[in-house]
Amino acid sequence: MTPSAAPGETPDEQPEPGLRADAERNRDRILAAARRLYATEGLGVSMASVAREAGVGKATLSRRFATREELINAVFADRMDAYAGAVAVALADPDPWQGFTGYVHAVCAMQAADRGFADVLTMTFPAAKALEARRAEAYEGFVQLITRAKAIGKLREDFTSQDLVILLMANAGVIAATGDAAPDTWRRLVGHMLRSYAAPGADIPPLPEAPAPTALYRAMVRLTRTGTHTSS
C-alpha cells in the first residue's frame, strides 16, 4: 500500500529520508534545549531563548512547535506520566495514610528536581491536551487517596484537594526562591504541612532539619540580586 501524503502534499512530494532525519534531529535538539532551560530557569524562558540554546532558527522552532503550549506538552510528557504513575503507586499502598503522605512527598520532590515541572504543576495549559489529561487522571487518583486516608481516621476531615494545589504553589515558590543556595528547604516545608494534615493519632513523618541560617541568607541575597519572588 502506498503511504498517504501529508495534507497539502502529493505522494511524489514526500520529504526525502535525509530531510526527515534532519527534521527529527532538530526536534530532538529543541526538546533537549527546552528541558535544560526549563529545569534551571522555569517556564518563563522565551521561545527565542530555546531556539538559541538548541542552535536553530526561530522558523525551525516554529515549524516543529507552533506554540509554547505544544513545546511544553512535548517536554513534560514523561514527567506527567511519572506524576500520574505516582498516584497509582500510592493507591496500591495497603496503608492509606502512608500512601497519601508518600504521594505528597513524591510530587513535591518532582517539583524540586525540575523547576520547570514545579511551574507546570501550578499552571494550566488548555491547548496541551495530553498534559492536561494526565493532570486530570492524577487529580482523580488523589481524590481517592484523600477518601481512603480519611476513612481510616488519619487525615483531617477538613482537608480538601485544593490544599494540595496550595502546597504545590508554596513549594514552587520555595524552590524558586532558594535555588541551589538552600536546595533542601522544600523538605522542611513539606514536613510541616504533612503534620498539619494529620488527624489526631496519625503517625507523623519525621520533620526534616531546618536549613542552616547561612544557607537561607545566601538564598535571600540571591533573591535580592535577581529580583525573583515567584517561580515564573
Contact yes or no for 146/90 (Cβ under 8 A) = no
At residue 7, the 3 state secondary structure works out as coil
- Domains in the chain (CATH in brackets) are 16-75 (1.10.10.60), 77-226 (1.10.357)
Mean pLDDT for back-to-back runs of 10 residues, the chain (232 residues): 43 53 88 93 91 93 91 91 93 97 95 89 84 90 97 97 95 90 95 97 91 92 69 40
Give this prediction's pTM.
0.78
CA 105/CA 108 separation, integer angstroms:
5
Around Cβ 77, how many Cβ atoms within 10 Å?
14
The grid coordinates of residue 11 equal 505522494
